[in-house]
Amino acid sequence: MLAKANDDGSLEKQLTTLSRPKLLIIDELGYLPFEANAAHLFFQLVSQRYERGSILITSNRSVGEWGSVFGDPVVATAILDRLLHHSTVITIRGDSYRLREKRRSGLLQKAGTTLGTNETAKQ
């Protein structure tokens, strides 16, 4: 499907579209692993926007896990290299507000998973 879309150039058009706005917000990175093609296009997107347009990413995966998200540690490293160059990384620890109510009422026992990286870094 992806390869097919790639053939008629629609993904490239999409890439151009996503390169345009001054701020691109990418929510929930890490829920779906990227197919090889998509990871490469994502790299192109990040490269095109690098030092031109801002990107805001939210992810439930620590940066160290992005290798598996993109299915290729080399691509993930190249993406992270550009993303982290001028970046603010904010790591939120703590409880889910969605689950807090349930926990209070005794439906759930304890807080869930925490992330591997806990530092809040400004690079």
Partner 1 sequence: MAQLDRLKLTAIRDQLDTLLDEAARSQMILREALAFLVTHEIARRDERRISMEGKIARFPFVRELDGFDFDAQPSLDQRQIRELATCRWIAHGDTVLFLGPPGTGKTHLAVALGREAIRQNHSVQFVTAATPWRCWPRPMTTVHSKSN
Residue 28 to residue 113: CA distance in whole angstroms: 16
Q: Does 5 bind partner 1 (CB under 8 A)?
A: yes
Q: Is 122 helix (H, G, I), strand (E, B) or coil?
A: strand
Sign of CA dihedral 54, 43, 60, 90: negative
Give backbone dihedrals phi and psi of 80, rounded to 5 degrees, phi first. Answer: -65, -35
Binding flags for partner 1, 101-120, as an x/- string (CB under 8 A): -----------xxxx-x--x
Q: Which of 43, 63, 75, 76 binds partner 1 (CB under 8 A)?
A: 63
Q: Which residues bind partner 1 (CB under 8 A)?
A: 1-2, 5, 10-11, 13-14, 16-18, 20-32, 35, 38, 41, 49-63, 83-100, 112-115, 117, 120
